[in-house]
Amino acid sequence: MSEKKTFRITRFDPDQDEAPRTQTYEIPVDPDWKVLDALNFIKDEIDGSLSHRWSCRMAVCGSCGMMVDGKPTLTCKKPLSEYGSEISVEPLANFPIVRDLVVELDGFMEKFESVKPWIIRAKERAVEEGTHRQSPAELEEFKQFSMCINCMLCYSACPVVANEPEFLGPAAIALGHRYNMDSRDEGAHERNEVFRGEGTVFSCSYANECSEVCPKHVDPAAAVNQAKINAVLDWATGFVVTRGKE
């Protein structure tokens, strides 16, 4: 632990601070550390008042997303060795700050729920009927989009979210699309109605930033593009059916 690095960390306590400020810590670092290890060292050894979220430290619980040197980063996954001697750590962009490196998730959770992320069926299957048959190919149709850990890096990277905070956003759209593509689900029509609403799939500007920062290779940009096409097709089909009935 001979090498030292300097961390410039956003501090904000709404009880005391009018605006976020930056505090600097110089600490010895281990060559194998991830960014999160440095934050935990500061919290344990230097400043117990630093607040950040973390838990699994194996890139699956999605708690520890932050801006590191200005980029949305899952801090338990990113090696410290990839940075220089001075590193800035800020809360995720495009979210309100609660305190220090902790951001508010309320808006995200509402968006997440709005896409009806559960299996919808006209008639629910009874346990006695056993499992559905789903071929490996059918599983492949949605599997990638089911890998999202809700770390919210894509919302921090998204230029549309930055300008239009109400935008449904990459992770929520990918999640809705995941259920639409699941052979067990019959709820695509309901979700496509959500997707055709204001501030959803058609607000996306194809920047692709979401897919670039995704630590789980979910490729939400691909989901958004597919969801757009499906939402239009669904509308067109509904139009034909409605006309046909008249």
Partner 1 sequence: MIEVIRHDIVIVGGGAAGLRAAIAAVEADPDVRVAMVSKVYPMRSHTVSAEGGAAAVARDDDSLEMHGFDTVKGSDFLGDQDVIQYFVEEAPKELTLLEHWGCPWSRNEDGSVATRAFGGMSTKRTWYAADKVGFHMLHTLFQHSMRFDRIIRYDEQFVTRLIVDGGAVRGVAALDVREGVVRLILGRAVILATGGAGKIFPFTTNGAIKTGDGMALAYREGVALKDMEFVQYHPTGLPGTGILITEATRGEGGHVINSEGERFLVTRDYGVGTKAELGPRDMISRAIVQEIEAGRGLSGPYGDHVHLDLRHLGEEKINARLPMVRELAKIYAGVDPVHQPIPIRPVVHYMMGGVDTDIEGATTIPGLYAAGEVACVSLNGANRLGSNSLTECLVFGARAARHAVGYAKGSDDGNEAACRSLGEEESARIAALRGKKKGGEKLARIRHDLNATMESGCGVYREQASMDDTARTVAQLKGRFADVALEDESAVFNTELTAALELSNMLDVAETLAVSAAHRHESRGAHTRKDHTSRDDQNFLYHTLCNFDPTGPRLSKKAVALGKWEPEERKY
Residues that bind partner 1 (CB under 8 A): 13-16, 32, 43-45, 48-49, 51-63, 77, 98-100, 102, 105, 109, 113, 117-119, 124-125, 127, 130-136, 138-139, 142-143, 146-147, 149-150, 175, 179, 182, 184-185
Minimum CB distance to partner 1 smaller for 75 or for 160: 75
Beta bridge pairs of residue 204: none
Minimum CB distance to partner 1 smaller for 27 or for 59: 59
Minimum CB distance to partner 1 smaller for 63 or for 200: 63
Q: How far is CA 137 from CA 177, 183, 191, 221, in A?
A: 17, 10, 23, 21
Closest CB 76 distance from partner 1, rounded Å? 9
Minimum CB distance to partner 1 smaller for 116 or for 202: 116
DSSP codes of every residue in 189-204: HHHHHHHTSTTSGGG-
Closest CB 236 distance from partner 1, rounded Å? 27
Closest CB 128 distance from partner 1, rounded Å? 9
Reference 75, options 220, 191, 192, 213; nearest CA is 213
Closest CB 82 distance from partner 1, rounded Å? 12
Contact 208, 221 (CB under 8 A): yes
Minimum CB distance to partner 1 smaller for 38 or for 160: 38
Dihedral in degrees, nearest 10, Cα atoms 186, 187, 188, 192: 160
- 65-68 and 4-11 as β-strands: parallel, antiparallel, unpaired? unpaired
Type of residue numbered 72: P
Closest CB 213 distance from partner 1, rounded Å? 16
